[in-house]
Chain A
Amino acid sequence: MFYIHCPYCDEYRDEEEFHPKGQAHIARPEDPETCSDEEWGDYLFFRDNPRGIHHELWVHAIGCRKFFNITRNSASYEILETYRMGERPRFSAEHPQGESAEHGAAVNVADEAGRVADQEGVRA
């Protein structure tokens, strides 16, 4: 049983309150009209299945009902971090020990500013 930290509720909650929604950070092609069938098929249907660090989209279905991301090790099931939509993960396959705090902090501050601008008046 996972004990998952929801970045919006800012609290650890039981796994049964959450639903996994698959791989995170899948970008929709900028111009679907000009995509080849293969590109569009890759976007719609094909997902990575790595052994090791994997970024996933989850939803806190019974709590705040917000989507957020989890960095998880698919071999050990260890959850390395959870982070809000629009933020960048500290841990990745290239940085299994985590990027330096300064780098992460700088990214988060920039994202934070962008998010505040995007959702005017939203806090917490």
Chain B
Amino acid sequence: MSDITYGQVATFNTHPEAAIPSESPLSVAFNQISVSTPAPAVNHASGVRLEEKAFLGHLILRGGAIVLDEAVRKVLGISLPLGLALDESGERSVQWLSPDEWLVIVPGGEEFEVEQRLRDALGDAHYAIVDASGGQTLVSLEGEKARELLMKSTSYDVHPSNFPVGKAVSVVFAKSSLILRRPAEDRYELVLRRSFADYLYRWILDAGAEYGIGVQR
């Protein structure tokens, strides 16, 4: 635990020691399904491949775009986008959520350091940073049938003409909601909330059954 304070804001590392066990939002689904029916494995016929990118660092940034832009560029080397922007390694991303709100995703374990560097860079500016890492998880969908699976699940138009690479939206998905993003031509990412993760995972497996969906573990 850190006692560093910035003005009136107390910050602390939500996961200070790697030895402390943590469970991803999908662990319940993974474990229960593996007991009753094992999650389908990826094979050459899988039209969709699902992989959870567990334990990434998720930060919600709020504040004025000009102020945040400068800090995010300094800390992450990414300009604030209107859609989705990734750094050169593709491991860190910044996503537009609303006119004064962005989602930053960094490799797991970096989030506390990034948060502190952002707070240092932002100084006395009017802003908020919230670590949402424990509340949501990122699931990646790849494969030639991935878009068809999305078409069955959301009313949002995911045709490439409307949903090109670099776009990110929060949408209704299977009567629930999630963030849908397209970081690369052949890959979609879903940001699921912990409370919906189990349900959405089962929905995706069901929707993907006809395409031979496989789960990468």
Interface residues in chain A, defined as those with a beta carbon under 8 Å from any beta carbon in chain B: 8-9, 11, 13-14, 16-17, 62-66, 119-124
Closest Cβ of chain A to B171, distance in Å, is 7
Q: Are A62 and B177 in contact (CB under 8 A)?
A: yes
Top 6 A-B pairs, shortest CB-CB distance:
A121-B64, A64-B98, A121-B66, A123-B65, A14-B155, A62-B177
Q: For the complex, what is the distance from the CA of A9 to the CA of B65, rounded to whole Å? A: 15
14 new A-B contacts, CB < 8 A, other than A62-B177, A123-B66, are A11-B169, A16-B172, A62-B170, A62-B171, A63-B169, A63-B171, A64-B97, A64-B99, A65-B98, A66-B98, A120-B66, A121-B68, A124-B96, A124-B99
Residues of B within 8 A of A124 (CB): 65, 82, 96, 99
- Which residue of chain B has its CB nearest to the CB of A16? B172
Residues of A within 8 A of B99 (CB): 8, 64, 66, 122-124
- Which residue of chain B has its CB nearest to the CB of A61? B177
Q: For the complex, what is the distance from the CA of A8 to the CA of B155, rounded to whole Å? A: 19
Tell yes or no: B63 within 8 A of A by CB. yes
Closest Cβ of chain B to A8, distance in Å, is 5
Residues of A within 8 A of B169 (CB): 9, 11, 63
Closest Cβ of chain B to A48, distance in Å, is 29
Q: Which of A119, A121, A123 has the most CB of B within 10 A?
A: A121
Q: For the complex, what is the distance from the CA of A8 to the CA of B97, rounded to whole Å? A: 10
Q: Are B100 and A122 in contact (CB under 8 A)?
A: yes
Closest Cβ of chain B to A79, distance in Å, is 18
Closest Cβ of chain A to B202, distance in Å, is 21
Closest Cβ of chain A to B136, distance in Å, is 15
Closest Cβ of chain B to A86, distance in Å, is 12
> What 1/0 mask marks residues of chain B from 154 to 165 whose CB sits below 8 Å from any chain A CB?
011000000000
Q: List 17 A-B contacts (CB under 8 A).
A: A8-B99, A9-B169, A13-B156, A14-B156, A14-B172, A62-B170, A62-B171, A62-B177, A63-B169, A63-B170, A65-B98, A120-B66, A121-B64, A121-B66, A122-B65, A123-B65, A123-B66
Residues of B within 8 A of A65 (CB): 98
Closest Cβ of chain B to A54, distance in Å, is 26
Residues of A within 8 A of B156 (CB): 13-14
Q: Are B64 and A120 in contact (CB under 8 A)?
A: yes
Tell yes or no: B130 within 8 A of A by CB. no
Residues of B within 8 A of A8 (CB): 98-99
Closest Cβ of chain B to A84, distance in Å, is 9
